[in-house]
Amino acid sequence: MLVSARSFAEYRAMFALTDRDLAQRILDCPGGAASFVAEAGQRGIDAVAVDREYASHREKLGLLVERETLFKRGQLMREAADFVWSWYGDPAGLLRERIGSARLFRSDITARPERYLAGALPQLPFADGSFDLVLSSHLLFSYGNRLGGDFHRAALLELARVARREVRIFPVVVYDTGERYDGLERLREDLAGVGIGSRVERVAYEFQPGGDEMLVLSCGGYRAQASSEPRVTAFDPVRWRHREGVSRRIA
Ligand X SMILES: C[S@@+](CC[C@H](N)C(=O)[O-])C[C@H]1O[C@@H](n2cnc3c(N)ncnc32)[C@H](O)[C@@H]1O
With respect to ligand X, which residue has the nearer C-beta, 52 or 153?
Answer: 52
CA distances from 10 to 95, 156, 178, 215, 224 (A): 14, 22, 19, 16, 31
Enumerate the β-bridge partners of residue 49. Answer: 28, 116
C-beta of 72: minimal distance to ligand X in Å? 13
With respect to ligand X, which residue has the nearer C-beta, 151 or 242?
Answer: 151
C-beta of 221: minimal distance to ligand X in Å? 25
C-beta of 132: minimal distance to ligand X in Å? 18
Sign of CA dihedral 144, 148, 151, 154: positive
With respect to ligand X, which residue has the nearer C-beta, 1 or 192?
Answer: 1
C-beta of 136: minimal distance to ligand X in Å? 7
The Cα 244–Cα 97 span in angstroms is 37
Nearest to 186 by CA among 206, 164, 215: 215
Site residues, ligand X (CB under 6 A): 1-6, 30, 32, 34, 51-53, 120-121, 137-139
With respect to ligand X, which residue has the nearer C-beta, 143 or 242?
Answer: 143
Residue closest to ligand X when measured from CB atoms: 32
Sign of CA dihedral 125, 37, 170, 181: negative
